[in-house]
Amino acid sequence: MRPAALVTGARRGIGRATCAALAARGFDVVGADLSDDGAAETEAAVIAAGGSFRFLAADVAATAAHATLVEAAWDAFGGLECLVSNAGVGAMARGDLLDVSEASFDRCLNVNTRGAFFLAQAAARRMVAPDAPRRGPRSLLFVSSANAFMPAVDRGEYCVSKAAVSMVTKLFAVRLAEAGIAVHEIRPGVIRTDMTAPVAERYTARIEAGLSPIRRWGEAEDVGRAIAALAAGDLPFTTGDAFHIDGGLHLHRL
């Protein structure tokens, strides 16, 4: 039987690309998101790549429903070998750090950090159970951001939430290593998605001026392929690492 993956934020962007890339590497995929707007397109991409797809409506910030979400995903294909914690939100508005609202701060932390932590906890509990199938390599993958370590003062609350995801990754990596479950952080750079669309003109100019050594926009597929490679076990002797999918944005240069 094929291994199965649960991908949050699956109906568009990096989530959709990840679902398709996982299918191409032999996974069946359960996609979760707030609504099914775009889910049909994700399903088509998964099927075209050779996998099967199920969609579940879910809000990762609703931690009380995580156990139910994991069980539904588990039942869809008889187990889970991979969780991709991709769902995320940005700041309610970019602006002065001195004007960040508690509502925007809490929203970022609730979705990007708290939701990711407790969903990983629920999935890990199920994956370490004695009756859990092992149809291939097993992993938890957290999608953070270059802002996990690069400050952007116009969206400080987002940066804080993603920096916390880095520690969440390390914690689960240490806890789950003895169970044979690898845990990694993916740090996308400037990726062409709906989230970056409002600042596309600004970033296009910066990329052309050399913001990253590879002078192009990152595409969702760049991130999806990296996630799928890790989920498929292409790097079996590593855990707790952060993978920069950013065209070299993270490199310090003189």
Kindly report, residue by residue over 42-88, the tens digit of the pLDDT.
Answer: 999 999 999 999 999 999 999 999 999 999 999 999 999 999 999 99
Is position 250 within any domain? no
The helix or strand, by DSSP H or E, that contains position 8, with its residue range, turns out to be strand 4-8
Is position 43 within any domain? yes
Boundaries of domain holding 206: 4-245
Do the beta carbons of residue 172 and residue 228 sit within 8 Å? no
Give the pLDDT score at 254: 86
Give the pLDDT score at 1: 85
What is the total count of domains within the chain? 1
Do the beta carbons of residue 57 and residue 33 sit within 8 Å? yes
Is position 254 within any domain? no
Give the pLDDT score at 183: 98
Write out pLDDT tens, residues 125-139.
Answer: 999 999 999 999 999
Do the beta carbons of residue 189 and residue 244 sit within 8 Å? yes
Give the pLDDT score at 150: 97
CATH number at residue 225: 3.40.50.720
Phi first, then psi, for residue 96 (nearest 5°) are: -65, 135
Tokens of 144: 């953070």
Closest CA to 239 of 183, 199, 167: 183
Is position 253 within any domain? no
Is position 252 within any domain? no
Give the pLDDT score at 196: 85
Phi first, then psi, for residue 21 (nearest 5°) are: -65, -40
Give the pLDDT score at 187: 98
Q: Which residues are catalytic?
A: 158
Is position 251 within any domain? no
Give the pLDDT score at 165: 98
Q: Is the overall model pTM greater than 0.95, yes or no? A: yes
3-state secondary structure 121-174: HHHHHHHCCCCCCCCCCEEEEEECCHHHCCCCHHHHHHHHHHHHHHHHHHHHHH
Is position 108 within any domain? yes
Q: Which residue ranges of the chain lie beneath pLDDT 50?
A: none
Question: Judging by beta carbons within 10 Å of its beta carbon (0-12, 13-18, 19+), is residue 129 exposed, middle or buried?
Answer: exposed
Give the pLDDT score at 229: 98
Is position 126 within any domain? yes
CA atoms within 13 A on the CB side of 164: 17
